Homo-oligomer: A and B are copies of this chain.
Amino acid sequence: MEAEIEFIPEGTITSPEGFFAGATYAGINKKARNKPDLGVLFSEAPCVAAALFTTNRIKAAPVVLSQRRLEQGRALAVVVNSGCANACTGGRGIKAAARMAELTAEGIGVSPEDVLVASTGVIGVPLPMKRIASAIEQVVLSRDGGHELARAMMTTDTFAKEIAVKVRVGSSEFSIGGVAKGSGMIHPDLATLLCFLTTDAAVEKDFLQEALKKAVDISFNMVSIDGDTSPNDMVLLLANGRAGGSAPSAFEQGLERVCIYLARCIAADGEGANRLIEVTVSGAHNLAEARLAARTIVSSSLVKAAVHGADPNWGRIMAALGRSGVEVVESKTDLYIGGIPVMKAGAPLPFNKRGIIKLLEGKEISISLNLNLGSGSATAWGCDLSEEYVTINSRYMT
């Protein structure tokens, strides 16, 4: 049965039934005065929960805590702050994360064990617990609080990344919502800093985890902003079953749609970025090689800088392909920029330089390669590297 998937206008994480959210300004990082920095997500019905966490060997305290709590496979609430990562903070950091959960649990009247914690911001600085304690009391939860929560997660993001879709299949109907925070320290292998997903579909725990892994593999894990990964990466998916049972394949489709949308938003809003870069590699020896090649190219500083300057320096794409380590036969490789062939079977083609520059000046740049070796195909997303990226990241703390 074909699933119908439609975007919900101004959809967010509280679009699915039974989810509430709210946020407030706690003053965690004094730089961010004009937006909330502390938020809470809550489901009135118990949720089956799935999650993926950073693969970085340095794990932030909220990651350690939430990972442990999720072993029970259920959750009722998430508390999130921006402005401080609570990472590299030793034993004191773990205590602070637990206290954040406790304060949130008291406020909504649930058990602290059912509250997950997420943080993003500067590493190596302790959380200002007094400010957080008094701010949590100010958080008002509502059915339309998703957008405020999305804003509370933002650090150098220039816009809130949020979406919700309605999925219809046969007589069943359910929604999936998501918010994400991206911008910097973003690289494949669990690429988003923070992402929360909600659904009112009724889903089994094991299926939920598997569906999440599949969707993340072709979305967030195919995004790179700067090659750096964060100790705080976390993707959470909460399913409260309010809309009743769902067709598994329709659920997977809806979830993929949501994750790819958010992944593209993260790429387009990379720190200092002006352009979204989409790299598709086809004809690779296998899927793993296609993924690796696409991710390597989209991560190349030189490719990103060339796109920034709309410089048709396509040799850099080939150099990045070559160092990815995947099987390449130069004399079989075709390269296209915005659909225009610039290299065929390993030999450069004469191309309209003005035309390519025009394409590179757009908001979305597509680069595609056919390795003509097999059937592996994959797409990765990234952004241009601008002077602004350096400026932002050379003054993050000072």
Contacts and interface: CB of A to CB of B under 8 A. Distances in A.
A296 B90 CA distance: 23
Contact of A58 (B227, B321, B347): B321
A288 B340 CA distance: 43
Nearest to A299: B227
A243 to B, nearest CB: 38
Interface stretch (A70-78, A136-144, A382-390): A382-390
A159 to B, nearest CB: 22
Say what secondary structure dominates the interface of chain A.
Answer: loop
Interface string A291-320: 000000001111001101111111110111
Interface residues of A, number: 74
A323 B228 contact: yes
Interface string A313-354: 111101111111111101100000000001100111000000
Interface string A74-106: 000000000001011111100000000000000
B301 A124 contact: no
Contacts of A87: 315, 318-319
A228 B57 contact: no
14 contacts: A56-B323, A57-B328, A58-B318, A123-B318, A124-B314, A124-B315, A124-B343, A126-B348, A190-B323, A305-B389, A306-B396, A309-B393, A385-B390, A386-B394
Question: Which 5 interchain pairs have the tightest Cβ spacing?
Answer: A123-B315, A309-B394, A58-B322, A90-B347, A305-B393
